[in-house]
Homo-oligomer: A and B are copies of this chain.
Amino acid sequence: MSKRTIIEIAERVGVSPASVSRALNNVPGVSPEKRRQILAVAEELNYHPNAIARSLQGRRINTLAYIYVADMPDRPATDLFFFRDFITILAERCATYGMDLLLHPATDGDGSMNDIGRILRSGRADGLILADIRRVDPRVLYLIEHQLPFIAFGRTDIRKPYSYVDVDGEWGIYTATCHVISRGHQRIGFLGLPIEYTCAVDRYDGYHRALRHYGLPINPAYITHGVTNETQARVVVDRLLSQPEPPTAFVAASDMLAIYTMSVAAQHGMLAGRDYAITGFDDLPLAAHTNPPLSTIRQPVHQVCEELIARLMRRLDGEEHAQHTLLRPELVIRGSS
C-alpha cells in the first residue's frame, strides 16, 4: 500500500499537486479533461484526503465535541439515562450538518475543566457542546473568557453573554403540578434534582408557582432535593410516606426519580394511578412501559439537539454570538396520574 497522497495522484496523471488539490476541491482553474483524469485516478486509488493535513491549514476538522462527566458521584442517575438518548440524537443532528461527534467522558470530577481547553485548542474539534449546566459553571466562564466556540444545553446564573438552548422546566413542572392539582390532589410531594444544577431550581420554581397559584401551602416536609439513586430514593420516599398526612401525589423532576418512587411505593402496597398520582420529567423511552405508564413532561430532545447544533454551527461561521432558545416541553398524560 502506497501513501495515497495528492502527490501520488499528481505523478500518475502527470500534473502538479496543486492541480490535484484544485480538482479534488472543486476549485476552478483546472481544465475539464485533467479534472476528469484526476478524479478518476483518485477513485481508482481509493484516495481520501487527509483531514488532519487539511485542518492544519486552519480549515475545520468537521467535528463537534461533547464533553461530559461520566462518573460524577452525585450525578443524578436519572439524567444519565436521559443523556444516553441525548447523545445519539445529538450525533444524528451533527451528521446532518456534516459533522461528527467526539465523545469525551471527562476524567476529572471538576466538570472537566482540564479537558475543555485542551480538546478545542488541540484542534480535535471545531466547537463544543456542554450540558449538565450548573448555576455558576466554571466551564462556561472559562469558555466565554477564552472566546472558544461552544453552546450550552442549559442556563446559568452567569450574566455574561453566551449562547444556550434550554427547556423551560419551570413551565413544565408548573404544568405537571397544575395537572395533578386539577385531579383533586392537595398534598403534593416534590422530588427535586441536586440544587447546584440550574434546571433543578428551575423545576422547583414551577412546583412552587403552581402551589401558590392554587393557594396551596408550601410544606417543606413534602419537598426533597438531590436524590440521585434508588437507595436514596428509598429513604426519602419512606420518610415522605410515613408522615401523619402524607402526600397523595408526587411531582418528580425526572422520570427516574418517579420510577424509583413508584418502586418504593409499591412496597408500601401503593399503586400509582390508583392510590396516588405521580408525574415525571423527560419522557424516557422507559416511561411508556412502566406500570402504570408514567405521566411525564416530554423534553423536546430532537428540537434541543437541532437548535444546539444549528446555533453552534452559525457561531462557527461567525454569524451569531450570544443567542439563545427556550423550548417548551409537553405534558404527556398516561396512567400514573
A-to-B contact residues, CB < 8 Å? 1, 4, 46, 48-53, 55-56, 61, 63, 65, 70-71, 81, 83-85, 87-88, 91-92, 94-95, 100-105, 107, 117-119, 121-124, 146-147, 259, 263, 285-286, 289-292
Contacts and interface: CB of A to CB of B under 8 A. Distances in A.
Contacts of A84: 84-85, 87-88
Contacts of A63: 102, 124
A306 to B, nearest CB: 14
A81 to B, nearest CB: 6
Contacts of A85: 84
Oligomer copy total: 2
B104 A48 contact: no
Contact of A102 (B100, B118, B147): B100
A52 B117 contact: no
Contacts of A94: 103, 105
9 contacts: A48-B122, A65-B100, A84-B87, A84-B88, A95-B104, A95-B105, A100-B119, A101-B103, A291-B292
Q: Which of A61, A88, A290, A292 is most buried by chain B, counting CB atoms within 10 A of its CB? A: A88
B122 A51 contact: yes
Contacts of A103: 87-88, 91, 94, 100-103
